[in-house]
Amino acid sequence: LPPLFLLLTALELSWSLSDEEKKIILDGHNKYRSGVSPPAMDMLKMSWDTELEAFAQAYAEKCIWDHNKERGRRGENLFAMAPTLDLEFAVEDWNGEEKYYNLTTSTCVPGQMCGHYTQVVWASTHQIGCGAKFCEKIDGIETEEMYLLVCNYYPPGNMKGRKPYKEGPSCSQCPEGRVCVNSLCEVEVDTGYPVSSLTTEDPALLESSALDTEELETNSDQTNMDQPTAGAPNTFLGPSLFLLPSVILVGLLL
């Protein structure tokens, strides 16, 4: 094979998110979490987890437009876009479902999706890891040559019968060992970014994590706000309009 083809093949096989791209995703989540309205009493600051990243990247490599049935106790948001992948817009799009969600009644406007948003702002979720892949063909989407973004979360959100966060004065119910920074409950000695779940044990979170385990066992189907949907992508005229007449994107609900 020609050397250039071999080089491109190797690059494609080893492609993953850069540190800058990971930071865009992480900062985007924390920005929307800190700015929820009404404010949250118990919103934890998210950190990047390398094990979740590896898990998400492995699934993104499969180019499948459906949730990973082997994700276990992990939340998941999917997003697909062409001709480029705008990570800041992807998180913005998930958070944009806020306009359809009623925190007081824990309901979503009929016919709309809210589960991406509720996962982004699920208060007890404190770790995130994502992977992305350029797919010549995503199984489940007719449009070809799209980027697929997979984000996994721990503990998972969207537990049946629970609201994403407690409404009230910001940080008024932060777990022990966390302090309020920019309306988020942050670990007192913040290990920063990136981190591994093997080195981010937080005793203050053991109680909330145990509760999530119990509810996951009770709701074995990991009940979502809406059922996953797939099909023809929507057309978005936006930031990448100068590249093609339109930018195609789709978001799959957790």
CB 73 within 8 A of CB 251: no
Q: What is the distance between the alpha carbons of residues 166 and 153, in angstroms, rounded to a whole number?
A: 19
The domain segmentation of the chain, as residue ranges, is: 19-187
- Strand-pair partners of 80: 148, 250
Query: Going residue by residue through the chain (254 aa), what tens digit of pLDDT does each one get?
Result: 554 444 444 444 556 899 999 999 999 999 999 999 999 999 999 999 999 999 999 999 999 999 999 999 999 999 999 999 999 999 999 999 999 999 999 999 999 999 999 999 999 999 999 999 999 999 999 999 999 999 999 999 999 999 999 999 999 999 999 999 999 999 987 555 544 333 333 433 333 322 232 233 222 222 233 333 332 233 232 222 223 333 444 555 44
Fold of 19-187: Pathogenesis-related Protein p14a (3.40.33)
In DSSP terms, 76 is beta-bridged to 152
CB 39 within 8 A of CB 105: no
Token pair for 175: 């777990």
Residues in contact with 171: Cβ distance below 8 Å, sequence separation at least 6, in sequence order: 41, 42, 43, 180, 183, 184, 185
Residue 26 and residue 208: Cα distance in Å, rounded?
A: 22
DSSP for 87-155 reads HHHHHHHHHGGGGGEETTTTEE-TT---HHHHHHT-TT--EEEEEEEEEEE-BT-SSEEEEEEEEEEES
- The CB density around residue 102, as the number of other CB atoms within 10 Å, is 10
